[in-house]
Amino acid sequence: MTRRTVLAKIRKALEPRLYASGYQTGPVGSSRPYKVAPLAKPRRIDGFAIEEIEGFAEDGVVEEFSIACVTVYWRSVPLEDLTKILALVTNPKTRWRSRAA
């Protein structure tokens, strides 16, 4: 599969899981809520560039949720890692954190 195809499938699988969070897309006053889809617990994928995933955001993979949402943008993720991520997001056994958490 091409990079574009894998990314399209990932985005399609994530779209219903993304929700507006308390994080912002930029400076306060001129931004909007950042859409995220956190996993129930961090998952190791042992990828080429990404070792562990805590969730996903509208524009990439979230490596850590803390004071800020540490995101690796989709354009920076190698195809090998994207195929592992696709398997994770399309697996029906993958547990997602609820919106209330």
Taking Cα atoms as reference points, which of 61, 56, 27 lies closest to residue 39? Answer: 56
Model confidence, pTM: 0.89
What residues of the chain score a pLDDT lower than 50?
Answer: 101
For 45-71, write each residue's pLDDT tens digit.
Answer: 988 989 999 999 999 999 999 888 899
Map out the domains of the chain as residue ranges. 3-90
pLDDT at residue number 13: 96
User: In this structure, what are the phi and psi dihedrals at residue 67, rounded to the nearest 5 degrees?
Assistant: -60, -35
Please enumerate in sequence order all residues whose Cβ is within 8 A of that of 54, keeping only pairs 6 or more positions apart, or say none.
38, 39, 42, 62, 63, 64, 65
Percent of the chain residues past pLDDT 70, beyond the cut: 98
